[in-house]
Structure 1
Amino acid sequence: MENNLLNGLNNEQVESLREEYGFNELIKTKKSNPILKFLSVFKEPMFLLLAGAATLYFVLGEPGEGSIMLIFVVFVATITFVQEWKTEKTIDSLKDLTAPHVTAMRNGKKQIIKSSELVPSDIIFLSEGNRIPADCEVIEESNFSVDESSLTGESEPVYKVVVGTIDSSKDYFKQDYLYAGTLSNFGKCTAKVKTIGFETEYGKIGKAISETKQELSPLQKKVNYLVKTLSIAGFILCILVIGFSYIHTGEFVKSILAGITLAMAIIPEEFPVVLTIFLSLGAFRLAKKNTLIRSIPAVETLGSTTVLCVDKTGTITQNIMCAKTIYSNGFIDPNKMQDKDLAKLLVLACEKDPYDPMEKAIVDAGKNKIDITKLYKLELSKKFAFDSKTKRMANIYKENASYYVAAKGSPETILPLCNLTQDEEIQILDIIDGMANKGLRVLALADLVTSTLNDSLEQYSLCFKGLIGLQDPPKEGVEDAINVCKKAGVRVMMITGDYCKTAMAIGNEIGLKSNNCAITGDEIDAMTGDELSDAVKHCDIFSRVIPEHKMKIVKALKKNGEIVAMTGDGVNDAPALKNANIGIAMGKRGTEVAKEAADMILMDDNFTTIVHSIEDGRRVFDNIRKAMVYIMIIHIPIMTLALFSPIFNLPQILLPVHIVLLELILDPTCSIVFEGEPAEDYIMEQPPRSPEEPLLTKYLTKKVLLQGTTMFLASFLPFHYMVDSGLGTDFARTFSLMVLIVGNVILVLVNRSNTKYLISIFKEKGSKARFYINSLALVMLFSIVYIPAAHPIFKTVALNFKTAVLACIIGATSTGWWEIVKFFNNSKHNKVKESPVIKNLNDLS
């Protein structure tokens, strides 16, 4: 198909070619089949146990109970399926947001499309830092070089040429051809796609392009270990319960039913679900706040970040130069400058309609004080362009019968051209030094009215007119965000390629710890690994740094045991981003390579967004921990009630149907209620969490045991007493079940926050999900107690008003008593905060 280079492909051509060649994918992603996905839920141990319990009911001649069990099994499976499906869709949405993109010509317009949507004959536009998305032939190029080492093994960059300009028929890897998976180093290129997907050279490699299995995060490993340990314990206890029950009853089938009930009670199948849902939804919430998470476990790691290494330009600063001050026989505020001759010099010493940020700032300082349109009508007679060696430029204009020379540049190259005495030059150099110490980029200004047009600027004796100090100012909110980091125990380090004094001035302005020093790239090169590891402990500002130095800084920090988040935007930043615990790429100015190497992408390139992301990462982990603690607490009474019944030769308190009922309450509570809880007020006032810290700390272990035990005693002791008193098994069971479910509702409300009291729910705008799910739990409870049709299924009876109130009071007390512990903890925390010693320490920090 012939392609019109001006218009590219149209929609019909794209569709036709896609039908023939498919998508530009190296890994074919299969769409999930909802039916197979639903059936896969039944492979879980919990559902196998439920199915086994239903089968035993049929064997015991109780088809009604067996049928109800099967209905519940399908219902619980549906809830699990919906949760997993929602999580999968969330992760797919995040993948779409972070997918590689390319600029292509479609329907006569340049469009940014996903690389996977390319088809043969597409016209694409590439520049520095782009990953080549398909095999292409070069149509146009401007000094375009490519790193093809991933294919050829050769480290030397290949400078590409337009197709047909050389004979490359004998070469396997051609100079006029671009290859998928390689990396553009420099320049620009327009190319025509020839092959995509598996037909590319990269696609033919096969195994080299298969997705590597992502390593589990530390938290995932801890959760898997916990689930495995509890499952083994559940199996052992299941065998013991079957044995005890058979000894007391002599009925083998009922003994197996009792054992299955315990196994169902102890298996914490909610743990992996909670972890997956919380992390994926956490990533999705961050995406709405300008942070795209490419690696889901990075949400967890964010919360334990101890060092945040950030670029200065564009992240901390605005990346917009502005005139901070002007010196001309005294310092002048650029906004209050009245000298029209000086304004004329500022405008004419720059390019017309400048692109360079510094020149824009200089022109902006002068254009409002003079008629710029009139100045731009002057004839430009000669131009001395900026040169990296001379570090200056000058424009010579024809004005009336003479020439006007307007020059600017680095003071050390402009001052020698001016008619200054030695004393005058020394005085000006002192002023320049003072401006530089404030972090200003200083340029000297000089002009001359002459009748001659010379070939060299050195042939003129210029008149010194003044100095202009330029600065890329910090973004609004950066200083406050750094103070938040300090309170949170997160150290902020600024890494820049800028000059030492400029870096220190910006660092001091935003509150970084500089100790009046900044480590330079040359100093890093001169240090050993141990010396650098020691140096990074004492300084937060690094200047004149190149990407290779970033890698050394990351390694030194990690050697010191720090959890490092590193920002980067360039091609050469990729190794440092990959090596950091969390690599953060810039979404606006970042290259595709940097984005691919990063764990998260900052869509607004703003430092404050990183700080908010750390806070959200801490919130996610805190809520995961709350959900895990809740699961373990509620499983203690469920497990011990199933275990202690045969040990004390009592009738079964909880039957499999009750376990299923509790699962209907527990699953949405874990995955919805706790996930949506806001961050604690103190979340950014405590040090980062150590990766070595166990999921359950000693304090949390005590909390789990105490709350779980009181819930067990509150439901078991009344049951034991009522059965011994001859009140009937179903009556005692109903009472204990009401105590347990009411206790669970209060448990959720008490444990939703570590500092806020239960009564605060009525004062604040609460979570609708929490209200609906807790209300549903109570509706289900009163339905099985007061609807006669439910009695034979759940082996319950209706309780009179006084008995029901007593059960509710005992249930609420069994978990509500933790509010007293919360009160003492809050009082202790407030005393520590008000301590004069702590106040002094806070002031010093």
Structure 2
Amino acid sequence: MATTGEAFPNQPTVDWHASDADDVVERLRSDLHRGLMPAEVRRRLKQYGRNRLPSPPGRPAWLRFILQFHNVLIYVMLVAAATTALLGDWVDTGVLLAAVFVNAIIGFIQEGKAEQAMDAIRGMLSLRTTVIRDAERMEIDAEDLVPGDIVVLVSGDKVPADLRLVAGKGLRANEAILTGESETVEKTIAPVPSDALLGDRTNMLYSGTLIASGQAMGVVVATGIDTELGRISAMLEQVQAATTPLLRQIAGFGHWLALAIVVMSAATFAVGVLWHGHPADEMFMMAVALAASAIPEGLPAIMTITLALGMRRMAGRKAIVRHLPAVETLGSVTVICSDKTGTLTRNEMTVQRVITATHVFEVSRVGYAPDGGIHLGDAAVTGGERPDLVEIGRAAVLCNDARLRRQADGSWQVVGDPTEGALLAFAIKAGIDPEWEREIWPRTDAIPFESEHRLMATLHHDHVVGKGVLYVKGAPERILAMCDRQGGESDAPLHPEYWHRAASEAAAHGLRLLAIAARPAEESQHEVHFADLETGFTLLALVGIIDPPRAEAMAAVAACHSAGIRVKMITGDHVETARAIGEQLGIGRHKPALTGAEIEGMDDARLCEVVLDVDVYARASPEHKLRLVQALQAAGQVVAMTGDGVNDAPALKRADVGVAMGLKGTEAAKEAADVVLADDNFATIGSAVREGRGIYDNIRKFILFMLPTNGGEALVVIAAILFELALPLTPAQVLWINMVTSSTLGLALAFEHAERDVMRRPPRDARESLLSWFFAWRVLMVSVLIMAGSLGLFLWELDRGSSLETARTMAVSSVVGAEMYYLISSRYLYKTSLSLEGIFGNRYVLIAIAACAALQLAYTHAVPLQALFGSTDLSLDEWLRVAFAGALVFVVAEIEKTVIRGYKKLRRHVSGAGTGKVSHRPRKAEAQWKTPRSFLVATDFSADSGNAAGRAASLAAEHQGRLDLLHVVDLSSLKAVRELLRSHDEAEAKLVGAAQRQLEEARSDVAKTVPVPASARVAVGNVLEEILSAAEQANLLVLGARGLNPLRDLILGTTADRLLRMSIRPTLVVKRPAREGYRRVLVPVDFSPHSIAALKMAMLIAPKADVWLIHAFVAPFEGRLRLAGVPDEDLETYRVEARQQALIRLGNLMLDAGETQRRLFRVVEHGDAVRLILAKEEECEADLIVMGKHGLSIVEEMLLGSVTRHILADSKCDVLIVHEHAGVLDKTSRTGKPVA
């Protein structure tokens, strides 16, 4: 049979899914009944090759070892070693080469095997498959398939190549490894549009996917590298793994350091020869000494060891790091792009809601395990109590082809369609025994599920009592059309409006709905036809099914947000499902979602613009995921990509950090990833990020520890050359310091644990240089101190008449002593080390100091080392001078840290810079007044949180606004319960879980009473910072009077008190439940500019209320005037003038407010302000007091006004605190005209 290549699968222009099945078979020159002839198979096998993926060339072990030397600092060390060898200094040469090879060996061992993603994908191909050849059905190796082969598949088979369906019955396929969709896909033979996405090509079966149910016949259209699986493998070959931020920084640092060393050495040589006239060979040795002193020989090895220790710690937290640099890169991640199915969700379909004609049942627990129960409201119910549940459960079991199987490890697995598996788990929870029901009600006939009819029907008979029943399940709109009655406690006519409304509400929560119905059948009926399904059914229930989010993923997403990390969900699922799951997880709330088709229509520039603003991506293909990762990286983000399927592999490889699931993840995903989660727990990523940030801190601490040592040694050598002194440090002594003492001490910093605030910082800028101004300053300062101590003691000893050997020994010991003291200071970059924790918190530091002291004593007093390095014995007085010089370095370094902390605190106070949060400094007033539309409620576990949410919801409904509930898991609370739980992770998980439940209850309560748009989010971190940051996006902050202070029973929580002082947003303190809108508002005013803001906010927040303005014009000045000897008649004059000014002030306020359509009452009183305000509150029965934040306070201008504090504590109604710059004030509206 002659064949041309123009219509064969290696031509990418052929859209097999858009062609009719018969046309495809004809174009491939095949035959549905006879298949291909043996001769044609051999010819095509020769033309297209075997159905397997080509093996990529591996990287041999010797090459991996050689590449360990590809480092600028290593190059400098090798040049230095070669130079010393040419000069015959074999000791220095040996030490330098030993440092180089130790680093190479450590890196070689830790990095392990190279990536083998292609082998993993190749292993996914089927071993055997059934085909029709030469008119016979036979079983062959999948590798022998060729385009045009006719393949036959049944339930449970793995698809061996890309097939175009030509026939099928009840066919559904699981394509999760390619598309990310957890639901099985119904397959048909009808053509689909040529531009259909991969997940929408319902007439195609793709290599590596699974047949979930039904039977299929298809013609092979692509094999090997031409399959979708092969295309992904080709993408993997083309994808270049991103260079990690640390490697980029170290490369830049290495180039800078190498250049500085070369320039300094050349300058030293030139100055000595040309200026001082020293012999060239002598100056060459001096230049070598300078180079040796400046090179941080231990840096590469210590960095590698630090990363290796981090890798080990991460393994203990179930995060297996495959590539060493990824350990640190996790700490700089700014965006996590996560696959939905199996990563953020369980990849286990679960029934969550059952809607009947009279009730809505909630089903507890998730997954296929038949644990949990069914609840009606707060009460648990069973099938024995609810006959309607029994009937629904029986239908779910009988109209079902799946089976649940318990595995050896105790987990449950579905055999068949996952949706049907979810129905079985629900039925068991309802008290149904599937095996018993199948035995009592054997199946007589069935109509399998087909997309054309969108239903499945089964006929059953209980021949003992002579009853028959016909069950159907399927799409709600299809089943509703077949029903004329609805089940429940009493059989009643169908009410379609009720069911459509219930379906819409469930779909909004991301639930996929199935309708279940039944009708009696005659005992004599043994077959079921479509004519039997037209009418007469009773609708039993709508069943809501979802692939539920992992509980730990919710907490992990909240923790990532608290750490300044954006989480983006990329999935192949439908956009409605993606939005709903994202809403539950706290991803992309109230933001648009982007589909794969929309991504296709964007060029790279446009995608880079929108990618930072969109967090949910639906119907995404492997190419889309890869483009999204690349776009984020182009926008300067450090991207981690999580996933578990083959479709994730290219993006996993391209991301800065690829994270694969270890239990459910495919081997392809694991091999393409940098990190594998051994427990498939998204929350483990948070722990890994914390560890990564700690590792980066440790590397910075080590560099800041080691470079001043090298800098001090270099300065000593430079000073000796400039002032024509004998060399204080020989090259061998420099190497002793750098390779032995510095490395011994610096290694202890690799064991430092992450600092407590490490997850409250924003991600570091991956583009920032290691050589920041702070970095350079600290290195220079400590280098000068070390140089001063070493050179000073060297000159002192020479001046005292000591030998050159003694002076040099003192110089070396001074440097080593300074290192010991500076090591303690280096444990914290900014925090003081003058504490028990700072000195004794890391036992490895103490061990390193003890080891270093022993080594230095051996260097000084051991005869072999004296002969090798030219050292000599030191007396007790000389050792005391060395200790004093070292202590001086520690003292100055701690003073410097204190100054820097004070400067940073002052800078934050002035501008909010450097905190990683938005500035909380008051902004300038905005151009116009604004009615509050966005209400942020900061909740906690106190009872007042419910009052605050209710009041905010009432206001949001009144002003057509929206409501946002925020619960911050307080770190102080976490610390309080940590001792009880004995586990930080357990404490955090329990608190976050409790917070999630509290928020959902609050949102549910709000939805029942006031239907307003509402969101709920849990954050983990500092309560004050999180709320202030969130308040920047809101118009009004709402607090409970006793809220945000779970450990104390004060009228105003301490955190709430601080929020009132620091927030620039109007802040409402709610003291009682909301019954209706505010009707009587009291506004205390004074002469401060806050009064106009308070009055205007009162009018905006309560547009229908009566307003009382009260000006208590007596002030603390009267008592001071009396003490100053002012006569009483003058005081009375003062009161008259004050009353007149108060009346003018009230008139101006009313004029500024521009309000003429409501009742305003002006009250001017003389007396104690607090007493007068509280009395007026009681008199006018006010339900709201609105006050300026700093008003009514003469002394406490920088704090919360003293009168305001008393009103907050003693009033019985709600209190709204308004800042002058609250974002609602138009300064240009002031007329300044007094009113008589």
TM-score, scaled relative to structure 1: 0.76
Is structure 2 residue 521 aligned with structure 1 residue 440? no
Deviation at 1:362, TM superposition (A): 1.8
Residue 411 of structure 1: aligned partner: 476
SS in 1 for 2:292: helix
**Alpha-carbon spacing, 1:425–1:232, altered in 2? closer, same or farther (3 Å):** closer
Is structure 2 residue 422 aligned with structure 1 residue 361? yes
The answer (yes or no) to whether the contact 1:103–1:125 under 8 Å persists in 2 is: no
**Alpha-carbon spacing, 1:33–1:470, altered in 2? closer, same or farther (3 Å):** closer
How far apart, CA to CA, are the structure 2 residues paired with 1:551 and 1:36?
28
Deviation at 1:450, TM superposition (A): 2.0
The answer (yes or no) to whether the contact 1:386–1:393 under 8 Å persists in 2 is: yes
Q: Which amino acid aligns with 2:264?
A: L
Flag structure 1 segments of 5+ consecutive residues without an equivalent: 1-23, 59-65, 105-111, 116-122, 128-133, 148-156, 161-174, 187-201, 203-207
SS in 2 for 1:494: strand
Residue 438 of structure 2: aligned partner: 376
The answer (yes or no) to whether the contact 1:626–1:751 under 8 Å persists in 2 is: yes
How far apart, CA to CA, are the structure 2 residues paired with 1:316 and 1:28?
35
Matches within 5 A, 1:143-222: 144-145=160-161, 185=229, 219-222=246-249
The count of aligned residue pairs is: 746
Residue 458 of structure 2: aligned partner: 395
Question: Among residues 812, 833, 846, which one is paired with 1:737 in the alignment?
Answer: 812
How far apart, CA to CA, are the structure 1 residues paired with 2:101 and 2:869?
25
Flag structure 2 segments of 5+ consecutive residues without an equivalent: 1-54, 131-140, 154-158, 164-203, 208-219, 364-372, 374-380, 405-414, 486-491, 909-914, 922-1023, 1033-1236
Residue 331 of structure 1: aligned partner: 360
How far apart, CA to CA, are the structure 2 residues paired with 1:611 and 1:256?
53
Q: Which amino acid aligns with 2:460?
A: Y
Residue 306 of structure 1: aligned partner: 334
Deviation at 1:637, TM superposition (A): 0.8
Q: Which amino acid aligns with 2:743?
A: P
Residue 171 of structure 1: aligned partner: none
Q: Which amino acid aligns with 1:426?
A: E
- Mean alpha-carbon deviation: is it higher for 798-807 or for 223-232? 223-232
The answer (yes or no) to whether the contact 1:738–1:807 under 8 Å persists in 2 is: yes
How far apart, CA to CA, are the structure 2 residues paired with 1:27 and 1:556?
30
How far apart, CA to CA, are the structure 2 residues paired with 1:249 and 1:392?
100
The answer (yes or no) to whether the contact 1:349–1:394 under 8 Å persists in 2 is: yes
1:658-692 alpha-carbon deviations (Å, 9 max, x no partner): 11211322563487433333223232222222232
The answer (yes or no) to whether the contact 1:345–1:406 under 8 Å persists in 2 is: yes
Q: Which amino acid aligns with 2:639?
A: V
How far apart, CA to CA, are the structure 2 residues paired with 1:42 and 1:332?
67
Q: Which amino acid aligns with 1:29?
A: P
Q: Which amino acid aligns with 2:473?
A: K
SS in 2 for 1:492: strand
Deviation at 1:752, TM superposition (A): 2.9
Residue 631 of structure 1: aligned partner: 706
Residue 86 of structure 1: aligned partner: 106
Question: Among residues 257, 261, 285, which one is paired with 2:289 in the alignment?
Answer: 261
How far apart, CA to CA, are the structure 1 residues paired with 2:695 and 2:543?
49
How far apart, CA to CA, are the structure 2 residues paired with 1:45 and 1:551?
38
How far apart, CA to CA, are the structure 2 residues paired with 1:144 and 1:36?
39
The answer (yes or no) to whether the contact 1:349–1:408 under 8 Å persists in 2 is: yes
Q: Which amino acid aligns with 1:316?
A: L
1:203-249 alpha-carbon deviations (Å, 9 max, x no partner): xxxxx999999886564454344434433443443344445556668
1:740-779 alpha-carbon deviations (Å, 9 max, x no partner): 10111222222133236254457766253x4444333211
Deviation at 1:389, TM superposition (A): 3.4
Residue 549 of structure 2: aligned partner: 474
Residue 714 of structure 1: aligned partner: 789
Q: Which amino acid aligns with 2:395?
A: L
SS in 2 for 1:429: helix
1:641-667 alpha-carbon deviations (Å, 9 max, x no partner): 111112112221101221121132256
Residue 261 of structure 2: aligned partner: 234
**Alpha-carbon spacing, 1:125–1:596, altered in 2? closer, same or farther (3 Å):** farther
**Alpha-carbon spacing, 1:239–1:602, altered in 2? closer, same or farther (3 Å):** same
The answer (yes or no) to whether the contact 1:533–1:557 under 8 Å persists in 2 is: yes
How far apart, CA to CA, are the structure 2 residues paired with 1:508 and 1:209?
32
TM-score, scaled relative to structure 2: 0.54
Residue 29 of structure 1: aligned partner: 60
SS in 1 for 2:771: coil
The answer (yes or no) to whether the contact 1:97–1:292 under 8 Å persists in 2 is: no
**Alpha-carbon spacing, 1:649–1:546, altered in 2? closer, same or farther (3 Å):** closer
How far apart, CA to CA, are the structure 2 residues paired with 1:235 and 1:508?
57
Deviation at 1:557, TM superposition (A): 3.5
SS in 2 for 1:419: strand
**Alpha-carbon spacing, 1:233–1:572, altered in 2? closer, same or farther (3 Å):** closer
**Alpha-carbon spacing, 1:551–1:349, altered in 2? closer, same or farther (3 Å):** same
The answer (yes or no) to whether the contact 1:53–1:656 under 8 Å persists in 2 is: no
Higher RCO structure, 1 or 2 (CA under 8 Å, sep 6+): 1
How far apart, CA to CA, are the structure 2 residues paired with 1:158 and 1:394?
25
- Mean alpha-carbon deviation: is it higher for 771-780 or for 644-653? 771-780
Residue 223 of structure 1: aligned partner: 250
Question: Among residues 529, 546, 549, which one is paired with 1:455 in the alignment?
Answer: 529
How far apart, CA to CA, are the structure 2 residues paired with 1:392 and 1:213?
47
SS in 1 for 2:449: coil
Matches within 5 A, 1:635-674: 635-665=710-740, 668-669=743-744, 672-674=747-749
1:70-97 alpha-carbon deviations (Å, 9 max, x no partner): 45653564454334213211112x5489
The answer (yes or no) to whether the contact 1:676–1:767 under 8 Å persists in 2 is: no
**Alpha-carbon spacing, 1:91–1:782, altered in 2? closer, same or farther (3 Å):** same
Structure with max Cα Rg? 2
Q: Which amino acid aligns with 1:444?
A: A
SS in 1 for 2:759: coil
The answer (yes or no) to whether the contact 1:223–1:271 under 8 Å persists in 2 is: no
How far apart, CA to CA, are the structure 2 residues paired with 1:467 and 1:424?
13
Choose between structure 1 and 2: higher helix proportion: 1
Residue 13 of structure 1: aligned partner: none
How far apart, CA to CA, are the structure 1 residues paired with 2:266 and 2:333?
45
Residue 495 of structure 1: aligned partner: 570
SS in 1 for 2:461: strand
The answer (yes or no) to whether the contact 2:92–2:735 under 8 Å persists in 1 is: yes
Q: Which amino acid aligns with 2:857?
A: F
**Alpha-carbon spacing, 1:405–1:756, altered in 2? closer, same or farther (3 Å):** farther
Deviation at 1:313, TM superposition (A): 1.8
Residue 511 of structure 1: aligned partner: 586
Deviation at 1:323, TM superposition (A): 2.3
The answer (yes or no) to whether the contact 1:27–1:211 under 8 Å persists in 2 is: no
Is structure 2 residue 867 aligned with structure 1 residue 766? no
The answer (yes or no) to whether the contact 1:382–1:395 under 8 Å persists in 2 is: yes
How far apart, CA to CA, are the structure 1 residues paired with 2:247 and 2:520?
75
Deviation at 1:781, TM superposition (A): 1.5
Percent of aligned pairs with the same amino acid: 26
Q: Which amino acid aligns with 2:94?
A: V
**Alpha-carbon spacing, 1:470–1:222, altered in 2? closer, same or farther (3 Å):** closer
SS in 2 for 1:713: helix
Q: Which amino acid aligns with 2:258?
A: S
Deviation at 1:423, TM superposition (A): 7.2
How far apart, CA to CA, are the structure 2 residues paired with 1:723 and 1:619?
45
**Alpha-carbon spacing, 1:228–1:346, altered in 2? closer, same or farther (3 Å):** closer
**Alpha-carbon spacing, 1:146–1:496, altered in 2? closer, same or farther (3 Å):** closer
SS in 2 for 1:803: helix
**Alpha-carbon spacing, 1:537–1:235, altered in 2? closer, same or farther (3 Å):** closer
